[in-house]
Chains A and B, each alone.
Chain A
Amino acid sequence: MNKPLFHFALAVLVAIALPVLVPSKTLCSEVLIFAIAVAGCNLLLGYTGLLSFGQGIFFGLGSYTLGLTLLHSSLPLVVALALASIVGGLVAVVIGGLAIRRQGVYFVMLTLALAQLFYFLAYSLSGITGGDNGLLGIPRPGVGPFDLNGALAFYVFTAIVFLLIFAALQRVVVSTFGRTLLAIRDNGERAQAIGFPVRLFKIVAFAISGAVTGLAGGLHAALIGIAPLSSIDYHLSESVLIMTVIGGTGNLFGSVLGAGFYVIVSSVLSAIWPRWMLLLGALLIALTLFMQKGLWGLIEAAVSRIRDGGPRRSRSAIRPARGEKP
């Protein structure tokens, strides 16, 4: 159930099943793009214990980088995406370096303030970012001999990128580095005492997360042909965080579930009832009360119940608080 290869197989399955089940190929691409961003957020939240409200910064900068590259040069798409990823990673080093100087709630607040700061910066530098209107008319060049202008073609490209990133993050998570992150999450002071360079590890986690999220932002801009101001705002950070928690923290495939659930359900519900966010609110509360491990936790519990042949009391999923509260 928790073998990396099995999870990768599940990811492949999702990538194949999505376009068959969901009529809108654009929506399918969006699911996988957010799955990448959510996996990046999960690396910080689930594996390092850092609740960052700054993911929108990296996503937005990725969007702008890709947009500016493709608008002002004839570099290929893959290079533009690589640039988006590099910018996301570099800025994440700076943001992470600043933010990890504080802990707990103060860390959260600091990332929130930085996110607002970057939003207002993007808003006021309208000469570069297009301000409120965003960057418009971003072209979508093909990759080698392949034309990506069709929705399905772009989906296939997105799916390949998604699977590559997913596999790469899996490698990171099972490596010594990844296991050290978990140790830092569970007890930072002890990890420090043992002699791990905790700050350095946290910054590297930020860099990876920023690079992955920047890549997602770049892909998103290529998908919709614009880099809007909303790519860098507080709501983007919040949605990515919500998807991470819905899917389940500390599990990469959970991120795919979270992104898929949020993107598809919100799209369906918003077509039916404009007040759908009321239900989202109720879901978030239910989540904290009854299923703290998110959708993946739910599946795990269901599987173990079937396997053990009959109902059984589930282990307490409540993690003890870290930080302030005794």
Chain B
Amino acid sequence: MLHRRQFLKFSAFAAASLAAPGFLRSAFAAGGEITLAAPLPMSGAFASNGKYGSIGTSMAINDAGSILGRKLSYLELDTEGSSATAVRKVQDAMQQRHATLFAGGILSSTALAMSQEINKRDGVLFTTAGADTITGSKCNKATFRWSVPTYGAINETVRPLIDKMPNAKRWYTITPKYVFGEDLLSAAKDVFKEKGIQHVGNSYHSLDTQEFSGYITNALSVRPDVLLLLNFGSQSTACLRQAVNFGVKNRMTIVVAWASGLEQFKALGPDVVENVYFGAQYWHAIDSPFNKQLVAEVKKEKGINPDYALASAYMITKLLIDGARKAGSIDGPAVAKSLEGMEYDGLTGKETIRAADHQVIKNYYLLKGKAKANMKDADDYVEIVNYGQSFRSAKQEQCVMG
């Protein structure tokens, strides 16, 4: 009770200067609640991901209600898209609110930073970040990842398209110059080699570019059959839109290997999306029982279709809750242990958590943009043309769990 008395003593000051609702609640809850923390970029340049991620996490927590006889409470940590802020807030959540369960970390840099911190302090993190190193060379006992690595993303988009279009022999790539882009590119090159595809050129661009006309001109000049975009987020949106402005769509097939789904299609609009191929982790029209249930629930409660950020946040939160229930504890290592090897009905059908590197084995989808006239509703941008699971072994991903 010392804590509480200390708190009351300073409450007048605290109310004025430190009235973070989190601190107040924790002090008065008398240790009854279990905190599930969601480190998400609520402000800053990635705020749109944070917004829907937060909806997904809080819905999963509400649906679960309580675990181990204690009420679950939701703690949102605004990372501001910065790994420094993320780490500091994770430290605070662990020390003051005794949080051990973390669902979030959309950006690779923040997820990697938090992963190390959470591992050091015996928590558990389930993330949807893109970087392969999270379940690869930087894997650890505390960290799990739902999203399919770059290898699977390329193999479930490039490979089926090559089979679908046997005459399209010339491919051109546009790649962001950093680890994520390089991983996608090297996976694509392997597939090209194996399938006898001619890789007619590649343009690298930096992470802050928003003007792609130069790279598109480069691509046009070598007359490829397919233009493969290996960037993501706002960069792939800008790049695709500008490519369409340049009339690229009428001359070749465009493929975006790593699309963010509904949110991105809304930003692009149906004119741009039409006939373009997209690789995606999730699409709300996936035909699986659990996904249908989630879509119905989100529609009813929020009146929208879930996008990737919302659906994946819901999924990883639910997995943490299920893991804690199974372990009978919220102790990080115990929850991690119970998650290892878990098989369950997930958003993409049957999903498995691989024990060796904590990577979720799930489907990756190839989507194709519909013509505006064929869209059944405002969100019906694409149809699923292919899906499947391609994974390298944990060893190939260079995961050595310490």
Contacts and interface: CB of A to CB of B under 8 A. Distances in A.
Contacts, number: 109
A224 B84 contact: yes
Contact of B95 (A21, A126, A151): A151
A114 interface: no
Contacts of A20: 10
Contacts of B42: 270, 274
B17 A264 contact: yes
Interface stretch (A22-30, A77-85, A242-250, A302-310): A22-30
Contacts of B109: 132-134, 228-229
A230 B14 contact: no
B88 interface: yes
A277 interface: yes
A183 interface: no
A230 B83 contact: yes
Interface string B84-96: 1001100110011
A275 B82 contact: no
A134 B138 CA distance: 13
Chain B facing A: main interface SS: helix
A224 B207 CA distance: 24
A137 interface: yes
A131 B84 contact: no
B43 A274 contact: yes
Interface string B45-79: 00100100000000000000000000000001010
B92 A132 contact: no
Contact of A228 (B82, B131, B179): B82
A231 interface: yes
A270 B88 contact: no
A230 B82 CA distance: 7
Given A24-B92, A25-B95, A230-B82, A225 B87 contact: yes
B299 to A, nearest CB: 25
A161 B326 CA distance: 47
Interface residues of A, number: 40
Nearest to A230: B82
A275 B43 contact: yes
Given A230-B83, A268-B17, A225 B207 contact: no
B51 to A, nearest CB: 8
A271 B88 CA distance: 13
Given A126-B178, A131-B178, A226 B83 contact: yes
A271 B83 contact: no
A267 interface: yes
B108 interface: yes
B161 interface: no
A196 interface: no
A268 to B, nearest CB: 5
Nearest to A226: B113
A296 interface: no
Given A132-B207, A133-B131, A21 B20 contact: no
B91 A151 contact: yes
Contact of A225 (B76, B78, B117, B206): B117
Interface string B1-41: 00000000010011001111111000000000000000000
Contacts of A22: 18
B398 to A, nearest CB: 15
A156 interface: no
A268 B83 contact: no
Given A133-B83, A272-B20, 7 more contacts: A24-B96, A224-B113, A226-B113, A228-B84, A264-B18, A268-B17, A268-B20
The 9 closest A-B pairs by CB, nearest first: A274-B42, A228-B83, A224-B87, A271-B20, A24-B92, A274-B43, A230-B82, A270-B78, A26-B91
13 contacts: A21-B10, A21-B17, A23-B18, A26-B91, A132-B109, A136-B112, A136-B116, A268-B17, A270-B80, A271-B76, A272-B19, A274-B47, A274-B50
Interface of B: 10, 13-14, 17-23, 42-43, 47, 50, 76, 78, 80, 82-84, 87-88, 91-92, 95-96, 108-109, 112-113, 116-117, 120, 131, 138, 177-179, 206-207
